[in-house]
Structure 1
Amino acid sequence: MAGNRFRYGVWRDGPDPLAPPYDVRAAVDEVGERVLSGDNLRDALRDLLRRGPRDGRGLDDLEARARRMRREALRRGNLDGAVTRAQQLLDQAVAAERDELRGREGDDARFQEAVLDNLPRSTAQAVQELSDYQWASDEARATYQQILDQLRRDVVEQRFAGMKDALQGRDPATDARVAEMVGDLNELLGKHARGEDTDDAFQQFMAKHGEFFPENPQTIDELVDSLARRAAAAERLMRSLSPQQREELAQLMDQALGNGPLRGQLAELTDNLRALRPELNWNRGERMRGNEDLGYGDATAALGELGELDDLLEQLGQEHPGATLDDVDVEAVERQLGRGAADDVRRLRELERELRRQGWVTRDEDGLTLSPKALRRLGRTALAQVFSDLSGKKRGSHDLRDAGAAGDLIGSSRRWQFGDEQPLDVVRTIGNAVRRRAGGGVGTLPVRLEPEDFEVAETERRASAVVALCVDLSYSMFADGRWGPMKQTALALSHLVATQFPQDSLQIIGFGRYAMSLSQGELAAIEPDMVQGTNLQHALKLAGRHLRRHPGAEPVVLVVTDGEPTAHLEDDGQAYFNWPTLPETVQLTVREVDLLTRYGATLNVFMLGEDPGLRRFVDAVAKRSGGRVFSPDVSELGRYVVDDYVRSRRGKR
């Protein structure tokens, strides 16, 4: 519109509405990087939410802010300000009364001075003793009355946010309305505690007394939550005072509330709310210090804030079993930490939901874990990292020039040679004959074929292989920084087999003191164990079982280890460990090597480290089995294993 001027600035009202949605795949890749570098899977998933994705803040930042605010709240002031202020007002009233009496003559004035001289040292008792005192000074009378009126107003207003205007003076009609409201509220909470249907009763209560509740609760649970937090803060105030201060304040509150029904109704309300919300910190005291004496309302507000911060810290900690970001009270986060912090929680909550909705993670009794979909992506990432190291290097062709039953055309052809069994490439064969005749100047027809014209279509034989990858899970692999590369290698090989050689059968076998078959998910989540032992014999035994389940396939066994065998299985199936290595352990391990060799398996060992005992052992195994020994740098382990797998799986000619 002509003449209008617009000003543009940073969006400050919550999450940017034009920001692109967060790519959860980036979060999965971030977790994958941690896993492939050797970190624990569950810790990586947990840290994603605790530290936040790369472009946002996480739970740790929010928790640190909540702890900082809690420390600041503890320095806000002294909690006994209600008693201190009462004492100050009492001193002012007594001083004003003495000034008035000093100018009067007669025994009555002297008697009243004597009463003031003998007041108890206790503020509450002094206030009680002066309840029937006939004040000579109007100023003193008003100041004294302010002690009880202010405390009464603070107590009731602290419980009900809408009471501020209604309690400006001691109006009997107002007192009756307040007492009626508290009585109706206790009746409503009693029905709710008994499990009765209170929907209609709640609506009727709010229609009648809604003016006292400006927060406008929409359900009875919202009403209970609000009232219970306030009541718990009042109880915590009493628990935070010394016994003498607690007794002083309790007596002053009793006097302020008077002998009417309100005092008993408030006590009943506290009992009802405690029964409905027992999980709140009703009995926890706090040690607050500061230069300011906090009145009753300010002190309970500070303690209510501390209680809410305590709840937030527990929610943000996510330590309890089955914890999710849905447990975090976003409204409480906004009240205590601000709109930006609430938006951060919403983003993290949306990220967690999207990870589950899109199938990247699943939840079990121990928390979040990667789904098969995410594990496939993790394997693809691992394989990509392995192949990135192969750039410029020959990756190990596995093409076979004979056409087996599993031969696939690859789009190229070559000149026919005697003995070839590949199908003829008819188009190229006839084309060769036509070009030969045209080049000789004799025309193109008729076409006569010569032996040199024939071409055959090249095929790639998809030879089936059965592969056992045995990976060392002993603690030395973790301690020496080989855990992450080991996981990366196994996941990369698993993904390569699943996507490029689906006719192959891969089994990943981890071995420490015992050996076990591992799925992709189990491998990604496995953690190092402090138990000593390198039971290669058990691993090779499991490898042999896997090979024999797939007769006719090319058998391949790959072993990744950083130590010589130090454990073997006894006849009863129990593992026996000893260091240094026993001859019996070596003999039993070699026997499994011989069984694999007689079965026709290729057995190659990838030796990590320079342990002399391991070097002697693997050299002997290589000579005995006809396999090979590799001693790669740990950073090149994946390249060596994948490359050797592709080479080793070539079919027999």
Structure 2
Amino acid sequence: MSRFRRYDGGDPLAPPVDLAEALDAIGQDVMAGYSPERAMREFLRRGGTDQAGLDELARRVAERRREILQRNDLDGTMREVKELLDQAVLAERGQLARDITMDDGDRAFREMQLANLPGSTAAAVSELSDYDWQSGEAREAYEQIKDLLGRELLDQRFAGMKQALEGATDEDRQAVQEMLSDLNDLLEKHAAGGVTDEEFRDFMDKHGDFFPENPRDMDELLDSLAQRAAAAQRMLNSMTPEQRQELMELSQQAFGSPQLMEQLARMDANLQALRPGEDWSGSESFEGEQGMGLGDGTGALQDLAQLDALADQLAQSHHGARMDDVDLDALSRQLGPDAAVAAKTLQELERALRDSGYLKRGSDGELRLSPKAMRQLGKALLRDVADRMSGRSGARETRTTGLAGEPTGSSRRWEFGDTEPWDVPRTITNAVLRDPQALGGRAGGEGRAGVSRLRIQVDDIEVVETEARTQAAVALLVDTSFSMAMDGRWVPMKRTALALHQLVRSRFRGDELQLIAFGRHAQVMEIEQLTALDARWDKGTNLHHGLLLANRFFRKHPNAQPVLLVVTDGEPTAHLEPDGDVWFSYPPHPLTIAHSVRELDAAARLGAQTTFFRLGEDPGLARFIDSMARRVDGRMVSPELDDLGAAVVGSYLDSRGPASSYRDHFGDLYGGGRGFWV
């Protein structure tokens, strides 16, 4: 059964979120020592190449908040009242001057009364409440003041009332008073023990026009009213003492009766008792020049509260925070639909990372990169290696077959002595192309049941192309001493190990790879362990122990070609004693050097092809590594950090012999890459 829901923004034809960039960024942070959870949070915070992150959205929220405060002021209603008051007084004075029938004493008294009005707008409005206006224009302007105050006070609690009640009749005002009275009765009954659904529906049937939000139950009604009333209180708190005093005095003139203020005060008290969790005591500092009325000011305070809530949601700072916590409707209202689409994409990205198997939760409850994520990350790193090696040309592979022969996916012409299986489709196609009429039965005659005979000649035959494979046992020794972390070589080392691991597992499945980390002591590690390994600050470069483990690994695979790859930035400063204790000395002690050389010689006797990758520019280290490499007829490579992965992978491929071609082993990373390699 199909289910439909409201469209929530974005490109409806857009493909699912691409996790490649996210996984690469998360993997880099994990290798730098972050937990996967923190790494994911950091990516969501930064965003992607074409994707706004949480920090960008939070910046826009803060900018929007600052704009509201710097553009607006809260004295808009007071300014409008003062303009109407000045208009009324000016019209009245004009009428007094023109009215020649008026008694001079009465005129003088009235002019004196107008001239001596208090400086306070509220006090002046109050003093003129009993004034007998002679000018119809003045009387109308003064009545507008009372009407404006009533509409503004209602607009504070019920958005849109200022416009809805413009030009309201006495019946309209009476309907408002009745609604407020019924609402307060409803609130008080709810506080006393609850309101039934029927009572709520009766109230909405009678007064629903005052609530365009169309609340579905009592709780929704309470929430919307309390949020607006709390914002109105915060607006009052944000005014200067003088502004508050004037407003309270003016409020008594609303609709020409204090009854409106009494009902509103009663409603505020009820709402505060029912929703004490709302912010009833906050305040803001408005610094702009654009005056806002009471309703607009309350709306601005609501916007500020919503922006504060969005800032908290986007911060994702509390335990268990999720992108699903972000209110997309509020974000769209405050920043526009583009921001909501960006946040929704981040939500989908987080959900995909958690639900697609790239992150898994361990027995301790912490998130970890899954094997699936490791493969994806390894593929990305291998692609980077391929980019760096794309200028190198590898020799064509030999095409002899054997027990280790693997099909390449291509075929070639048969040559005398070939024992490879025929590529039947290609062979038949060649025969047909050579004699297109053969299938029509006019060449070679007809066989049984009228089936045409197709004659195959030697030149038509193609065989399945294979590549000779010799199994290799590869030991990658990576230095994990404190200098690697101190000099920024920690992450490149891990990237190199992961790229090599991916290549062996995906393209040379018959080879065996062992990762050995050597610092103060050495240990064999799985790729997941090495990738998540935090920087170690123990002093010591125990190459001796690492070579011991490598030789043990080589002996377990006597029929494989040993390949020894050593990545280090320092001379050996530690070795294992016969009792298993670590012996450390700096500068390097001759005994430590002797132990390391002895194990290197043992690797050479096992037939290991050895390559040292020297990191750093220390001349002493260069001389030592060079002498070690020459001793076993190996090589020393001194790559830049960015090229370390390419150097190690290239050395491994070279160890596979002239049958290795970079194009054949990396072409699939580019969908075949047939035009990519030189």
TM-score under structure 1 length normalisation: 0.70
Whether contact under 8 Å (2:155, 2:294) holds in the other structure is no
* 2:550 is equivalent to residue 552 of structure 1: no
Map 1:43-62 onto structure 2 (within 5 A): 45=40, 49=44, 53-54=48-49, 57-59=52-54, 62=57
CA contact (8 A) 2:57 2:314 kept: yes
Note closer, same or farther for the CA distance 1:114–1:21 as it changes in structure 2 (3 Å cut): same
Name the SS for the 2:478 alignment partner: strand
Q: 1:573-612, aligned counterparts within 5 Å?
A: 581-583=586-588, 587=591, 591=595, 594=598, 604-612=611-619
Conserved? CA contact 2:547–2:599, under 8 Å:
no
Mapping 1:154-303, distance limit 5 Å: 154-161=152-159, 163-164=161-162, 165=164, 168-169=168-169, 171=171, 173-184=174-185, 186-187=187-188, 190=191, 205-218=203-216, 222-253=220-251, 255-256=253-254, 258-259=258-259, 261-272=262-273, 275-278=276-279, 283-290=282-289, 292-303=290-301
Residue number in structure 2 paired with 1:84: 79
Secondary structure in structure 2 of the residue aligned to 1:275: coil
* 1:632 is aligned to 2:639: yes
Where does residue 332 of structure 2 map in the other structure? 334
**2:351 is matched with which residue: 350, 353, 357?**
353
- 1:24 lines up with 2:22 in the alignment: no
Q: Shift in Å at residue 606 of structure 1?
A: 1.3
Q: Which moved more, 1:370-379 or 1:179-188?
A: 179-188
Alignment CA distance shift 1:616-1:507 (3 Å): same
For the Cα contact (< 8 Å) 1:470–1:509, is it kept in 2?
A: yes
Aligned to 2:276, the other structure's residue is in SS state: helix
Q: Within the alignment, does 1:470 sit opposite 2:478 as a pair?
A: yes
Alignment of 1:423-502 (within 5 A): 462=471, 465=473, 467-472=475-480, 474=482, 482=489, 485-499=492-506
SS at match of 2:292: coil
SS at match of 2:291: coil
Judged with a 3 Å threshold, the aligned counterparts in structure 2 of structure 1 residues 67 and 114 are, in CA distance, closer, same or farther, namely: same
CA contact (8 A) 2:520 2:540 kept: yes
Cα 1:82–1:515 shift into 2, 3 Å: farther
- Change in CA separation of 1:333 and 1:636 when aligned onto 2, cut-off 3 Å: closer
Give 1:150 shift. Answer: 1.1
- Deviation string 1:42-100 (CA, Å, 9 cap, x unpaired) is 78755754565555555555455545544543443332122222233333334444555
Match of 2:540 in 1: 535
Contact 2:313-2:325 within 8 A present in 1 as well: yes
1:315–1:327 Cα contact (<8 Å) kept: yes
Please state how far the C-alpha of 1:112 moved relative to its aligned partner: 5.5
Pick from 10, 19, 31: which aligns with 1:15? 10
Q: Aligned equivalents of 1:269 and 1:556: distance in 2?
A: 81
C-alpha distance after superposition, 1:245-281 (max 9, x if no partner): 2332233335537246413223215524752445xx9
Q: How much does 1:561 deviate?
A: 2.1
Shift in CA distance, 274/110, structure 1 to aligned 2, threshold 3 Å:
farther
Distance 1:635 1:124, change over 3 A: closer
1:466–1:553 contact (8 Å) kept in structure 2: no
Task: Give the CA deviation at 1:285.
Answer: 0.5
How many pairs align? 584
How far apart are the structure 1 equivalents of 2:245 and 2:643?
74
Q: Label 1:590 to 1:95 Cα distance change in 2 as closer, same or farther (>3 A).
A: farther
Match of 1:376 in 2: 375
After superposition, the CA RMSD in angstroms is: 5.3
User: Structure 2 CA distance, aligned partners of 1:199 and 1:524?
Assistant: 59
Shift of 1:524: 4.8
Question: Which 10-residue stretch deviates more, 503-512 or 210-219?
Answer: 503-512
Q: Deviations over 1:142-161 (max 9, x none)?
A: 43343233122112123213
Question: In 2, Cα distance between the equivalents of 1:199 and 1:462?
Answer: 78
SS in 2 for 1:286: coil
- 1:185–1:51 Cα change, 3 Å: farther
Aligned mates of 1:111, 1:83 — CA distance in 2: 28
Number of the residue aligned with 2:670: none
- Would the alpha carbon gap of residues 307 and 552 (structure 1) be closer, same or farther in structure 2, given more than 3 Å must change? same
2:331 partner SS: helix
In structure 2, how many angstroms separate the alpha carbons of the residues matched to 1:252 and 1:575? 87
Please tell me whether the aligned partners of residues 517 and 546 of structure 2 are also in contact (alpha carbons under 8 angstroms): no
Q: Is the 8 A contact 1:182 1:269 kept in 2?
A: no
Aligned-partner Cα distance in 2 for 1:371–1:219: 46
In the alignment, which residue of structure 2 is the partner of 1:641?
648
What is the deviation of 1:233? 3.2
1:21 partner letter: P
SS in 2 for 1:161: coil
Change (3 A) 1:548 1:274: farther
Q: Percent identity?
A: 40
Contact 2:75 2:291 in 1 (8 A): yes
* 1:123 Cα offset (Å): 2.6
The SS at the match of 2:475 is strand
Aligned to 2:430: none
Q: Structure 2: where are the runs of 5+ without partners?
A: 1-6, 409-413, 423-465, 658-678
TM-score by structure 2 length? 0.68
* C-alpha spacing 1:536/1:237, structure 2 compared with 1 (3 Å): same
Rate the CA distance shift 1:409–1:243 in 2: closer, same or farther, 3 A: same
**Counterpart-to-counterpart distance in 1, 2:311 and 2:641:** 42
